[in-house]
Amino acid sequence: MFAAPRAAAAELPETCYLFAYFYHDREGEGFRLAWSADGYDFAMLNGGQSYLQPTVGENKLMRDPSIYRDHEGIFHLVWTTGWTGQTIGYASSPDLIHWSEQQAIPVMAHEPEAQNCWAPEILWNPDREQFLLHWSTTILGRYPATAMSNRRPERNHRIYATTTKDFVTYTPTTLLYDGGYNVIDANIIPAEDGTADWLMFVKNETLSPVTQKNIRLIRGRSAEGPWDHETPALTGDYWAEGPAAIKVGDEYRVYFDKHMLNAIGMVRSTDLVHWEDVSDRIVMPADARHGCIVAVPRAVVEKLLAAGP
């Protein structure tokens, strides 16, 4: 298992990168963090131990961790609480070490046929001055045209969302994206390419009649849509999921889980049209799965390094 030596504080750049992830075979243990000075070479933090163990939700799991750092420096974490159920997990932290009480937000409790709430993510929508939480859910009987696109009717997802200003009250859940196909793992960022658009990276979950299982890009007029048609696949022939996008300089980077290979890969682009696979340059802790990428000031990483173990 890779573990780079700790860098001295003077060696850290002003901006560093954190990757939050989980281990598929240790589902009760919570999320981990790895850090990088360049976004390519990551080293585990905290000796590879969890930063927060799950205590809420139907199955008390913590899969697919997603962290968003707001304008006040507070970290907001959401996660998948179980393979089945109608909640997503939420907690916040000023430093990624000390955490608030965990919530199980009942985002799909109003839909008795909702089978799951997978891969939630969170972002700040400046246009409406509120946080947007989104995830993928199958509602049995909904979207019958694609009910058997992934072997079983209980795996026929669309992307849903709720909003909040305070993580106390939440707006009624709405449909965020239906592109006419089975879709999971939405990740949304501002375009930052001279347009006012937002970018949503998703996994096309279709297995039948033509296998997809790849990452697509969709442009939207706002963080809450409306959304355009999806692009061709950004990723290669291997099955890919869990996209996590970030803009670094003039380069868009999309990290993703190589689902069948138990590895994290990455594609990059400067124009959002032509994508280069640079997975062979990515160094991650062994067995890291479906996570998120966050740019942070060096002081955040210095504090995590100092905390040990």
How many whole angstroms separate alpha carbon 76 and alpha carbon 70?
8
Q: Is residue 266 part of a domain?
A: yes
Q: Is residue 3 part of a domain?
A: no
* Burial class (CB within 10 angstroms; exposed 0-12, middle 13-18, buried 19+) of 156: buried
* Burial class (CB within 10 angstroms; exposed 0-12, middle 13-18, buried 19+) of 273: exposed
Short-list 143, 246, 139, CA closest to 201: 246
Q: Is residue 4 part of a domain?
A: no
CA-to-CA dists, residue 29 to 113, 281, 297, angstroms: 29, 28, 27
Q: Is residue 204 part of a domain?
A: yes
Q: Is residue 258 part of a domain?
A: yes
Cβ-based neighbours of 71, under 8 Å, separated by 6 or more: 124
Position 177: which residue type?
Y
Q: What is the CATH number of the domain that holds 296?
A: 2.115.10.20
* Domain membership of residue 297 as a residue range: 16-306
Q: Is residue 42 part of a domain?
A: yes
pTM score of the predicted model: 0.94
Q: Is residue 104 part of a domain?
A: yes
Residue 227 DSSP symbol: B
Q: Is residue 8 part of a domain?
A: no
How many whole angstroms separate alpha carbon 139 and alpha carbon 265?
31
- How many structural domains does the chain have? 1
- Residues facing residue 217 across a β-bridge: 201
Give backbone dihedrals phi and psi of 293, rounded to 5 degrees, phi first.
-115, 135
pLDDT in tens, the chain (309 residues): 334 444 444 589 999 999 999 997 677 789 999 999 999 999 999 999 999 999 999 999 999 999 999 999 999 999 999 999 999 999 999 999 999 999 999 999 999 999 999 999 999 999 999 999 999 999 999 999 999 999 888 899 999 999 999 999 999 999 999 999 999 999 999 998 888 899 999 999 999 999 999 999 999 999 999 999 999 999 988 899 999 999 999 999 999 999 889 899 999 999 999 999 999 999 999 999 999 999 999 999 999 999 977
